[in-house]
Amino acid sequence: MAYFGKILPLVLAVIAIAFRISIVIGLLPILGQVFLALYLPMGLALAWGFYRLSPILPAAAVGKSMTFREAWDATGPHSTALFALIFVTFLVGLLVALAFMLLVFVPPLLIATALVVNWFFMMLNISLLTTIYGVSVEGRQT
């Protein structure tokens, strides 16, 4: 329950920020094409913010309390590395998505592959969150 209590405000904060930015982009139809190009940087920035705050999740999982401010301060020295990590993860996801386009005409294979790939990315993200916590909070070596 502690984990849910930490992830809910984090997810709601990211959604609220994305929603506000999307409203601004939507209200400017003349500049819509220009702002449409900002969705990728916006997504990367939101992911960066999420990963900066992410140590609260492993902390909750091990029964330790951590505030958003403590998580933000702990990940500060690693913020550039986190951005690079997000960019590489995004590129891997893009390559996987392009590969999936080849499987769209073989539904059974697409479904089976999607399950395996989604499991892989879930495990990758759990590992990333744990590593971010270990390096940023516990002081493990990179």
Tell me the HSE value of 32 on the side-chain side, using a 13 A CA sphere. Answer: 5
Mean pLDDT of 51-62: 90
Indicate if the pLDDT at residue 32 is higher than 60: no
Cα first-last separation, the chain = 31
- CA-closest candidate to residue 68, choices 49, 87, 86, 85: 49
The two structure tokens encoding residue 32: 């819509």
Indicate if the pLDDT at residue 70 is higher than 90: yes
Q: Supply the pLDDT for residue 127.
A: 93
* Contact yes or no for 44/83 (Cβ under 8 A): yes
User: pTM, whole model, 2 decimals?
Assistant: 0.76
Domain-by-domain residue ranges, the chain?
Answer: 2-136
Burial of 71 (0-12, 13-18, 19+ CB in 10 A): buried
Higher pLDDT pick, 21 / 10:
10
Predicted confidence band of residue 7 (pLDDT cuts 50, 70, 90): confident
Q: What share of the chain is helix, strand, coil (3-state, %, to 5)?
A: 85, 0, 15
The two structure tokens encoding residue 52: 């900066």
